[in-house]
């Protein structure tokens, strides 16, 4: 009879990188951690070893499988529509999901989008939607499947029973400096998406100063890893690597982004935002096997009508006025006349966070009204002294800290010529070009 593994020995194996962990060892580890036989400090040590030495293909498959098996999985096979979801690694002004989910649903797909909350300078989809009066993020599984059947789309918080091991491990990674690990990021994202039961998935992997993955090569490596994980579990998966050097669209902050999303659904979205949205929509519809034109869904009004039904199905009033900030101030004036060639997404995101739009800890509250409007962006011509940003907050004492976040020569760049046009989508990673799992 094979003796049970010993967690200290497993830590040594990963620390010294002597051999891969076996599937049986990983299964034992997750069971022992759930039972309390493995302590948080021991799991933290193992996570640090993985941070430095990675997981090979077999380890990553087993690790992800155990995270999925730690909780329940949703069954969407009864739906009359093909299911497809989207996940973004997060950025500044990234309100794509608010537009994309009802847009794709209006074309005939079922979109079960389980989303999260913001942390630091990146916004969270649920925080944005909660600025709509009455809207609620927490739905039971029955409510979720009913909304999918009746409306075709739902944006909600992942239930506590979905990949609960990921919730514990993420909290541990957050306080031990082990978040930035490609295999741990990939298994965290994909375990939840696979458990939610969708049959197809499109990933928006952001890269640039305002993204989690600032380096494009690392972003593409993450995309390849997630595509391979999805495909191996029977989920048709494609990843798009997209730019996040500049805020997406012209609004950053919860209610401000909902307002811009509504404008986009009615045909008045900024070009960069719509370029990313239509690219993702095209791949989602392709994976779902639906021949439809997402642009026509906007111009016909179908997408906006689906959005209103989605909001109402979750208790919200899509026609209610959105909350407004009590204090507004212009900031970041142009030092000279010329063309804006750069506006740093990270600086703008941190400023919006300091105004109250984001949170430092998961348990913190956010302000629905705080945020920033970009009055001008790269490609726009400005005059000397022209304000570039409009700051919104309910607490005027926050203006100084937000202004400090913007007080850097690299935040705003102005040149004598307009910047060259650059595509928002940098690369597309599909199953035929995805690496074998392993990071």
- Based on the fold, state whether residues 355 and 309 are members of the same structural domain: no
| 173 given a catalytic annotation | yes
166 is catalytic: yes
Residue 211 lies in a domain: yes
Asked whether residue 154 is domain-assigned, the answer is yes
**Residue 263 and residue 164 share a domain:** yes
Per-residue burial over 167-187, b if 16 or more Cβ lie within 10 Å, else e, is: bbbbebbeebebbebbbbbbb
Residue 336's domain is classified under what CATH number? 3.90.1170.30
Q: Do 241 and 362 fall into the same domain? A: no
pLDDT at 434: 47
Instruction: Give the active site residue among 85, 127, 166, 245.
Output: 166
Domain encompassing residue 49 = 7-53
Q: Do residues 212 and 229 both lie within one domain?
A: yes
121 and 172 in a single domain? The answer is yes
Domain co-membership, 265 together with 143: yes
**pLDDT at residue number 177:** 87
Label residue 370 exposed, middle or buried (CB < 10 Å: 0-12, 13-18, 19+).
buried
Active site residue 193: no
Structural domains counted in the chain: 3
Tell me whether residue 367 is one of the annotated catalytic residues.
no
| 435: in domain | no
Local confidence pLDDT in tens for the 439 residues of the chain: 466 788 999 999 999 999 999 999 999 999 999 999 999 999 999 999 999 999 999 999 999 999 999 999 988 988 999 999 999 999 999 999 999 999 999 999 999 998 887 766 777 899 999 999 999 999 998 899 899 999 999 999 988 888 999 989 988 998 898 988 999 999 999 999 999 999 999 999 999 999 989 999 999 999 999 999 999 999 999 999 999 999 999 999 999 999 999 999 999 999 999 999 999 999 999 999 999 999 999 999 999 999 999 999 999 999 999 999 999 999 999 999 999 999 999 999 999 999 999 877 766 788 999 999 999 999 999 999 999 999 999 999 999 999 999 998 899 999 999 999 999 999 999 986 544 444 4
Say how far residue 20 (Cα) sits from the centre of its chain: 31
Does 107 fall in a domain? yes
Is there a domain that residue 1 lies in?
A: no
Based on the domain organization, do 279 and 380 belong to the same domain? no
Please report whether residue 58 resides in a domain.
Answer: no
Q: Is residue 273 part of a domain?
A: yes
- 263 and 245 share one domain: yes
b/e for 22-39, b at 16 or more Cβ within 10 A?
eeebbbbbbebbeeeebe
Q: Determine which one of 87, 128, 243, 373 is catalytic.
A: 87
Residue 435: predicted pLDDT: 44
- Same domain for 274 and 154: yes
* 165 and 288 inside one domain: yes
Residue 245's CATH number: 3.40.1030.10
Q: Is residue 310 part of a domain?
A: yes
What's the pLDDT at 119?
65
Among 173, 302, 368, 392, the one annotated catalytic: 173
Closest CA to 114 of 141, 149, 80: 141
Residues 380 and 358 in one domain: yes
Pair 120, 236 in one domain? yes
């Amino acid at each position: 009879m094979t003796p049970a593994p010993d967690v200290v020995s497993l830590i040594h194996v990963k620390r010294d990188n002597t051999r891969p962990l076996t599937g049986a060892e990983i299964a034992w580890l997750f069971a022992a951690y759930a039972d309390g036989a493995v302590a948080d400090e021991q799991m933290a040590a193992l996570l640090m070893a993985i941070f430095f030495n990675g997981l090979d293909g077999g380890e990553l498959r087993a690790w992800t499988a155990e995270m999925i098996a730690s909780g329940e999985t949703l069954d969407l096979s009864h739906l009359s529509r093909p299911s497809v979801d989207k996940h973004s690694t997060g950025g500044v002004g990234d309100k794509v999901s608010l537009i994309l989910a009802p847009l794709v649903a209006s074309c005939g797909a079922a979109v079960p989008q389980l989303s999260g909350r913001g942390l630091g300078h990146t916004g969270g989809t649920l925080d944005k939607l909660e600025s709509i009066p009455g809207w609620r993020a927490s739905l039971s599984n029955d409510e979720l499947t009913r909304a999918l059947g009746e409306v075709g789309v739902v944006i909600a918080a992942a239930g506590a029973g979905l990949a609960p091991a990921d919730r514990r491990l993420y909290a541990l990674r957050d306080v031990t400096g082990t978040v930035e690990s490609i295999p741990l990021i990939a298994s965290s994202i994909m375990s939840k998406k696979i458990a939610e039961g969708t049959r197809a998935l499109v990933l928006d992997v952001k890269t640039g100063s305002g993204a989690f993955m600032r380096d494009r090569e690392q972003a593409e490596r993450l995309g390849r890893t997630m595509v391979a994980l999805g495909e191996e579990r029977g989920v048709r998966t494609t990843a798009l690597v997209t730019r996040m050097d500049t805020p997406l669209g012209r609004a950053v902050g919860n209610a401000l982004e909902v307002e811009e999303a509504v404008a986009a659904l009615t045909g008045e979205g900024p070009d960069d935002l719509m370029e990313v949205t239509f690219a993702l929509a095209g791949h989602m519809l392709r994976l779902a096997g639906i021949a439809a034109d997402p642009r026509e869904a906007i111009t016909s009004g179908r997408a906006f009508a689906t959005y209103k039904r989605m909001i109402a199905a979750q208790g919200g009033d899509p026609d209610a006025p959105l909350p407004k900030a009590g204090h507004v101030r212009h900031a970041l004036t142009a030092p000279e006349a010329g063309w804006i060639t750069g506006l740093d997404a990270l600086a703008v995101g941190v400023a919006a966070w300091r105004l109250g739009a984001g949170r430092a800890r998961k348990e913190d509250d956010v302000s629905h009204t705080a945020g920033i409007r970009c009055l001008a962006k790269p490609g726009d011509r400005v005059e000397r002294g022209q304000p570039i940003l409009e700051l919104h907050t309910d607490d005027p004492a926050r203006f100084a800290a937000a202004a400090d976040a913007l007080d850097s020569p690299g935040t705003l760049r102005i040149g004598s010529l307009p910047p060259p046009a650059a595509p928002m989508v940098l690369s597309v990673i599909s199953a035929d070009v995805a690496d074998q799992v392993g990071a």
